[in-house]
Amino acid sequence: MAGKNESGSEELVARSKRVLPGGTFGNLPAEIIIREGRGCRVWDENGNEYIDFVLGSGPMVLGHAHPEVVAAVQEQVARGSTFFANNRAGIELAEAIVEAVPCAEKVRFVSTGTEATHYAMRLARAYRKRDKLMKFEGGFHGMGDWALMSMAPRQPGNFPQAIPDSPGIPRSLTQEMLIAPFNDAETAVALIEEHADELAGVILEPFQRLIPPKPGFLQALREATSAHGIPLIFDEIVTGFRFAYGGAQEYYGVVPDLAALGKILGGGYPLAAVAGREEIMRLLDKSAVGEENFVQQTGTLSGNPVAATAGLATLAVLRQPGTYEKLFATGRQLMDGLQNAFRNAGITATVLGEPPLFEVFFADGDLSNYRATLRSDMNKLRRFNRLLLERGVLKPETKIYVSLAHDDEAVAKAIAAFEDAARQLARETR
């Protein structure tokens, strides 16, 4: 039962606040200090056990400490941790990506999702020899300056004006980004047509945070960008290998020119990648394009053999028959249980997303774009999250990740916690 022995981590929390801004790594609150994880469960420094829907913010689709991943990593670590050179595991992982991901003809490894989207945008600019990019309001593409434009604007502006999301971003970049509304094909295509001569590329999450694309939306973007030779970039850091083995581009049936991959790809270790068409990816090869067109990219840990080994072991499990059917069945059961919990408690709420990744929004009606989701009551969500934590369920602020390790017992306990927390929330908000 969560909540016991709360004094055990007090010293660690105090120490963290002395050396870390806000006492955190910038992720979960300082008071949540995880000691270990196995399968779909984690334990904090006080020994409290939780059913985990954070899953390391998504990478642990197999669950924590999966035995096949652990064994592969331990074997590799004994042979060396990193080399700053090609290694067998990295080459084999690149081969697996090319085989799995529809747009992938060549692959370049990096260490983080932010790097992957950063280099995808740089490649598009170099390929088109133009500076301006288009992204979608509410879309998250990491922590780079170009990415943090209208990701979460407090006061959304008029399209296509970009709004910086953080102090420290050069204001000049507002002129290098166009912002379009997600799921509005007519407006997005009109902006592409209007700015076709100056656009280097269009980047989006095909599944934007928690919002599925409307039928025809991704296809319309693909047709408009193809007509003008503009690279279409899918940010599949989250959806890659989660919605299907070939990612969202396989799941939704739309193939981009470039894709950013991460999270699941590294099996819980720092690894990400840019993958895409040979014609664009060759810009990373000086011998192929010459000094003038060469896009520089290097990284100390790019293609790290330990991370690549973890990724290979993870993908091997995901290729097993029935894997995605199981993942989706578990997710549907949890989504239905969550929606029923609020319906039975008499609370207006909408469970939005796809079975491997979803969330509750305390609003109803159309929630198909960022501005619509702002109608959700975030205070209720924060309180609901706290009530779940007290009932032994750990989730991020705004997502529920599902893993193959969430077994029938964990699902039943989670749904019971959803129901009890919803009833308590109803009592508090009457």
- From first to last of its 430 residues, what are the pLDDT tens digits of the chain? 454 445 568 899 999 999 999 999 999 888 999 999 999 999 999 999 999 999 999 999 999 999 999 999 999 999 999 999 999 999 999 999 999 999 999 999 999 999 999 999 999 999 999 999 999 999 999 999 999 999 988 778 789 999 999 999 999 999 999 999 999 999 999 999 999 999 999 999 999 999 999 999 999 999 999 999 999 999 999 999 999 999 999 999 999 999 999 999 999 999 999 999 999 999 999 999 999 999 999 999 999 999 999 999 999 999 999 999 999 999 999 999 999 999 999 999 999 999 999 999 999 999 999 999 999 999 999 999 999 999 999 999 999 999 999 999 999 999 999 999 999 999 998 7
Q: Are residues 222 and 278 in the same domain?
A: yes
DSSP class of residue 294?
A: P
**Cα–Cα distance for residue pair 5/3, rounded to 1 Å:** 7
Domain harbouring 272, CATH code: 3.40.640.10
Mark which of 318, 345, 370 sits at the end of a domain.
318
What pTM, to 2 d.p., does this model score? 0.95
Q: Which of 212, 251, 246 is nearest to 318 (CA)?
A: 246
**Same domain assignment for residues 159 and 36:** no
Final residue belonging to a domain, choices 318, 340, 357: 318
Which of 300, 318, 336 terminates a domain? The answer is 318
Residue 367 falls within a domain, yes or no? yes
Cα 105 to Cα 107: distance, rounded to the nearest angstrom: 7
Helix (H) or strand (E) holding 235: strand 232-236
Looking at the fold, whether 53 and 135 belong to one and the same domain comes out as no
Domain tally for the chain?
2
Residues 6 or more apart in contact with residue 38 via CB below 8 angstroms: 63, 64, 65
180: domain range? 67-318
Q: Is residue 333 part of a domain?
A: yes
For the sheet with 400-401, list strands across it. Answer: 350-354, 357-361, 400-401
